Chain A
């Protein structure tokens, strides 16, 4: 039997991985851009990009990824219920 991760779950994992990578790269220190104090020695455009990546990846990991995981669970449950009713009708 071939195990296949649902797409929504795979996307959630990707979002979590992006944020983990952002955190590991130290982009958290760059979000000072939000208060108008960019990281010293980093060109403004690069700092803004880094800050945006970290902020968006954080929201992706905390808000979007759990929604994807829950949705994947709901779809799996709906599929299982569908299969159950088909089996009964047969």
Chain B
């Protein structure tokens, strides 16, 4: 046998031997203990970042340079993760509440001083909102969820009025919309933002005893009829105020939407997760990742999808949100594979002040942290039928 053929055969055999076992090098970070270590270290880093004003400012500026939304969403997911942490670890509750309060106060101050557009992409200025309020459900929904989560941990009198005002704005705007939805950008409704707003209403109701059940039911009924991609059965990502579909199903949106819908309609939420897992989820050689689009749909690579790895079509944005979906729906096998991929390809950097992922940024790390703290907040809201849950314990 000549040398070329012998070498080729040896390389092929070596590949067959090595590739199936590469994941074992990173699996330690993907199991339950590994995820707990990642959670604790990420939490340490997020809190350290909060204490170090200069580093935090630099990180926020770095993200804002790419997308001002990330500055805002980083706050939301940090607050949600802290709410879970506060409920799970009573000893840390005071510290967590303090950070949550400061983040919310700062966010509301910036919104008041600079307008909602401060947290949005520039194209918000290129059109006019169809709804007369001119408000963005992207900002209102996440602010309401932050406030409601904070109140679910421990009711503070000074947050009652801001939460009541925000939930009223959300509910009125959604009720006015032909799709029972509100705009995130001018004539652009995003499923991501509307499902966050629905979850905010549910958490609010658990805190205050309000009842938004008719609106929640109306949203789901309309979504099933008008906002579902006919090929995959997945919710589309964005649509006009009149219901015309814009972007089809997207991994960077659907996993989060399914998670938020757990509080609204658990059966529909699970159906959406399972469809997303089937259409977008990939498991190969012990690794897991998510694609941004199903086979039947292709959109442009954009700020939401993040870079798409050619051939395998792995999307950073979709895979990040898939971690949240897999955790929320207790999909342990895929969750382990996704975390194995994270350890392999997201470049974890462990320093004295905790863990960060070099391939990520603050918002990415905050989403990951939220996924790792999953449970306590939503458990204390409880699934429908809609009932006020007594404060202080799970339903």
Contact = CB atoms under 8 A, between A and B. Distances in A.
B160 to A, nearest CB: 36
B307 A71 contact: no
Contacts of B13: 70-71, 74
B361 A62 contact: no
B63 interface: yes
Contacts, number: 80
Contacts of A66: 14, 18, 22
Interface stretch (B3-11, B185-193, B374-382): B3-11
Main secondary structure of the interface of A (DSSP, over half): helix
Interface residues of B, number: 31
Given A40-B58, A62-B25, A75-B6, A31 B358 contact: yes
Contacts of A38: 66
A34 B22 contact: no
Contacts of B67: 36
A67 B7 CA distance: 12
B347 A28 contact: yes
Interface in A20-51: 28-29, 31-32, 34-38, 40
A74 B14 contact: yes
Contact of B307 (A34, A68, A75): A34
B88 interface: no
Contacts of A35: 306, 316, 359-361, 364
Interface in B5-34: 6-7, 10-11, 13-15, 17-19, 22, 25
A6 to B, nearest CB: 10
Interface in B102-161: none
19 contacts: A28-B349, A32-B358, A34-B316, A34-B359, A35-B359, A36-B306, A36-B307, A37-B62, A37-B66, A37-B361, A63-B18, A63-B19, A67-B18, A69-B14, A70-B13, A71-B10, A74-B14, A75-B7, A78-B6
Given A63-B22, A75-B10, 13 more contacts: A28-B358, A29-B349, A31-B358, A32-B361, A36-B66, A36-B307, A37-B63, A37-B66, A37-B361, A40-B58, A70-B14, A71-B10, A74-B10
